[in-house]
Amino acid sequence: MALISYAQAACQALAEAMRSDPRVVALGEDVGRGGIFGQYQGLQQEFGAARVIDTPISEATIMGAAVGMALTGLRPVVEMRVADFALCAIDEIVNQAAKNRYMFGGQGRVPLVARLPIGIWSASAAQHSQSLEAWFAHIPGLVVVAPATPADNYELLAAAIDCDDPVIYMEHKELWGLGGEMPPQRTATLGKARVARPGTDLTLVTWSKLAHTAVAVAEQAAQQGISVEVIDLRTIWPWDRDMVLASAARTGRMLVAHEAVQAAGFGAEIAATVAEELGIPVKRIGAPRIPVGYARTLEDVARISAEKLLQELSRFVERHPHRQPAA
């Protein structure tokens, strides 16, 4: 089967949506040239500059205009370049897009997709490396998605464009070139996680790029006799409580790992829920609460490496051994 990259998968999903629905438009800086990561390659040639709209560097106006477009019959896909830049449009996301439907009593809907690429990327330092999914998960009205694979980027971007709620869509900047197989048919839906690797001794919940690290770590843990079930959450809000709780109830231990800063990260929400509901040992692994530094030695401190994840996982299992079943 032909491989497709994470960037190409998103491009294909958007192209198909634009072909089938004239209301779908894309707007943002440099999208006409294919986007800075190639995720809009060829779209302006196919759909024209009126629907694949190159914009000024005006994040607030890009996002606010998308709200106005969405309210009046279009389905805009908004490019913010990196999630860090979307902070220039935080009013438009939080106070406008997310609140519009509710505060106006359901008179309007805001079916927009805002693409906010996250993650540490190529020594880009403090202002181009953040993973801010927890910020948006905190805001009522928003859906938050973070795909890990090309197949999911294809399916979930299509689902996000179909969605009538505003969606914060967070691709990982180190995954653009990742190859993978396209799904034979669309099955992924918003709000549903996937089991990236089945296991019996421990549930490891993660998302985005770290899902790949987690699967590799699970293979290593298997050699130490620990069977890890890796759940790729895919949608951060609404998160798949049913799958996580069912898995954690079965394995009896839950670890959540994310690239974002650990303090007040979304892992805390998952860990707290699992502890409240199941009363089993839980643990969070996230970045220290420091900005991402430029030098490799500094950047590495902020990364969750496979070594670090395996070490923490092993320590967690040692601290919380399973009770022997009654004879």
- Give the nearest distance from C-beta 91 to another protein in angstroms: 6
Query: Which alpha helices (H) appear in 72-201, and where do they start and end?
Result: 90, 100-103, 133-137, 150-162
Q: How many other C-beta atoms are found inside a 10 Å radius of the C-beta of residue 321?
A: 9
Interface region with another protein, contact rule CB under 8 A, candidates 10-18, 234-242, 288-296, 318-326: 234-242
What is d(CA 255, CA 206) in angstroms, rounded to the nearest whole number?
A: 9
The reply to whether 294 sits near another protein by the rule CB under 8 A is: no
Options 191, 252, 291, 293; binder of another protein; rule CB under 8 A: 191
**Of these, 1, 2, 20, 56, which contacts another protein (CB under 8 A)?**
56
Closest-CA residue to 111 (of 170, 171, 167, 65):
167
Kindly report the number of other CB atoms within 10 A of residue 22's CB atom: 11
Q: Decide: is 187 part of the binding site for another protein (CB under 8 A).
A: no
Q: Which of 12, 41, 61, 262 binds another protein (CB under 8 A)?
A: 61
Phi first, then psi: what are they for 73, rounded to 5°?
A: 110, 0
Q: Are 66 and 78 in contact (CB under 8 A)?
A: yes
Contact (CB, 8 A) for 141 and 116: no
Where in 240-259 is the site for another protein (CB under 8 A)?
241
| Identity of the residue, 3 or 246, whose beta carbon is nearer to another protein in the bound complex | 246
Using CB under 8 A as the binding rule, whether residue 46 contacts another protein is answered as no
Tokens of 168: 């914060």
What are the residue numbers of the active site? 128
Closest CB to another protein among residues 60, 126: 60
Site string for another protein, 69-98 (x = CB under 8 A): xxxxxx-x--------------xx--xx--
- In 3D space, the residue among 304, 228, 233 whose CA is nearest the CA of residue 269 turns out to be 233
Residue 42 backbone class (left: φ over 0; alpha: ψ -120 to 50; beta: rest): left
Structure tokens at 144: 């938050």
Q: Phi and psi of 72, rounded to 5°?
A: -120, 30
Nearer to another protein, 235 or 251 (CB): 235
Choose, by CB under 8 A, the member of 1, 2, 20, 105 that binds another protein. 105
The CA-CA-CA angle for residues 183, 260, 308, to 5°, reads 90
- Contact between 140 and another protein (CB under 8 A)? yes
Least distance to another protein, CB of residue 18, Å: 12
Question: Which range in 39-47, 120-128, 140-148, 291-299 contacts another protein by CB under 8 A?
Answer: 140-148
Under the criterion CB under 8 A, does residue 238 sit at the interface with another protein?
Answer: yes
* Total residues at interface with another protein (CB under 8 A): 48
Residues lying near another protein in the complex (CB under 8 A): 25, 50-51, 55-56, 58, 60-74, 76, 91-92, 95-96, 100-108, 140-143, 163-165, 167, 190-191, 237-238, 241
